[in-house]
Structure 1
Amino acid sequence: MWVVKLGGSLLGSPELNAWLDMLAQQSDGRIVIVPGGGIFADAVREAQRTVAFDDAAAHHMALLAMEQYGLTLKSLQPKLVTAASELEISERSWQHRAIVWMPSKMVLADETIPQNWSVTSDSLAAWLAGKVNASRLVLVKQAQIEDSEAPLEQLVKASILDQAFVEFAAGLSCRIHVVNKSGHAEFARVLAGGPLPTRAF
């Protein structure tokens, strides 16, 4: 199983549709897509600045924002299916479908996950990778990765990865790849058995 996080900043870009089409066609039950928050999470941030509700409420709303983005992805590529639990992920995998994760049920059930903005879809993708024993974790980003050998801490400092990512990724046994949104063709070759010519940990 591979966990692939599609950043919210890809929304509206032609690259997003290319990723969705490729994942739907080549997944064969091997892919779980983690949706970013994008403009939906930005709306939660803005609302919190305006109304000053607490971080626990913002955390719950941000998870629902990820689900809004996930539903958008499914609408853009109808061959995708959604899953909200480990059992549903397994069932959809057996059906050889490309899966979009709906995170709120699983994440809210884990009281060890901090309920603040240090944890975004990046860290939750790493958390899910551990849950499903993923063989690879791929984070698809708008940002260009200038140094393919840069440590994770440097990507956190550059705001390419969220503040909690290093902690969430620490216990993973799978390889981690951070790729630009333009890398869908290379990724397709990887799914077909080829090497991934980008950073790996």
Structure 2
Amino acid sequence: MAERSADTVSPLVVKVGGSLAETGRMPAALSLIAAARVPVVVVPGGGPFADSIRALQPTMKFGEALAHRLAMLAMHQMAELIVAQNDRFTVVQSLAEISDAVRDGKVPVWAPLRMIAGDAAVPAGWMATSDTLAARLAELLGAPLVLLKSVDVEEGGSLDDLAARGVVDPVMPSIVARGSLSWSIFGPSDEARFRALLAGEGER
């Protein structure tokens, strides 16, 4: 997998959890992101598309590696749905495409399979969800990481504690620690704080 290039821009990496589609929060979140005044790249969760793969795996009897690839394709499906919501969104599959989109004033929505397939930093299995993939992209970009979640999280908690509670996946904390990444989680009660961040008024 290609490492960060010298001319790669460093947008805010925002993971939009697939569960937001089920709670009805996604349209409002996407509207805020589409109007962002700071560079942003969106990492979509797999949502119901990934859930269908989990449900199919026991009957079709395919392994974790294939499930991992299919889950990333589920993220691509969600990316296509997100792009359909606003003309500013565009699907991207590489660091170069992210840079080009941001320079063109677009909001790139990352489909990860092309970049992550074969990446030894990301375990091939259900333990590594879109949380981990978002952290890996933030590591490659040298960018701050934001996760939009369907639950509120108290400030000051550790990622290890959040992983133990199932708020984030168990692989993500190690990537954040390795990359010394700045990270934050925004739940349903944090819309004003998220809006300020996208306007360039919050800490990155």
TM-score between the two structures when normalised by the length of structure 2: 0.89
Residue equivalent to 1:159: 166
Please point out which of 111, 116, 125 is paired with 1:107: 116
Shift in Å, 1:137: 0.5
Equivalent runs, 1:1-201 vs 2, <5 Å? 1-27=11-37, 30-134=39-143, 136-145=144-153, 147-195=154-202
Q: Distance in 1 between matches of 2:22 and 2:87?
A: 17
Q: Bigger shift: 10-19 or 149-158?
A: 10-19
Are the structure 2 counterparts of residues 151 and 57 from structure 1 closer, same or farther at C-alpha, using a change threshold of 3 Å? Answer: same
Shift in Å, 1:140: 0.5
Structure 2 letter corresponding to 1:104: L
Matched-pair identity in %: 34
Shift in Å, 1:194: 2.5
**1:76 match: secondary structure:** coil
Shift in Å, 1:109: 4.0
**2:54 match: secondary structure:** helix
Are the structure 2 counterparts of residues 18 and 165 from structure 1 closer, same or farther at C-alpha, using a change threshold of 3 Å? Answer: same
Q: Distance in 1 between matches of 2:37 and 2:202?
A: 17
8 Å contact kept, 2:148–2:185? yes
Calculate the aligned-residue CA RMSD, in Å: 1.7
8 Å contact kept, 2:33–2:198? no
Structure 2 letter corresponding to 1:129: A
Shift in Å, 1:94: 0.7
Structure 2 letter corresponding to 1:176: W
TM-score between the two structures when normalised by the length of structure 1: 0.90
Shift in Å, 1:157: 0.7
8 Å contact kept, 1:27–1:98? no
5+ residue gaps, structure 1, are: none
Q: Distance in 2 between matches of 1:195 and 1:35?
A: 22
8 Å contact kept, 1:18–1:184? no
Shift in Å, 1:27: 4.4
8 Å contact kept, 1:16–1:181? no
Shift in Å, 1:171: 1.9
Q: Distance in 1 between matches of 2:122 and 2:200?
A: 35
8 Å contact kept, 1:41–1:62? yes
How many residues align? The count is 194
Q: Bigger shift: 110-119 or 32-41?
A: 110-119
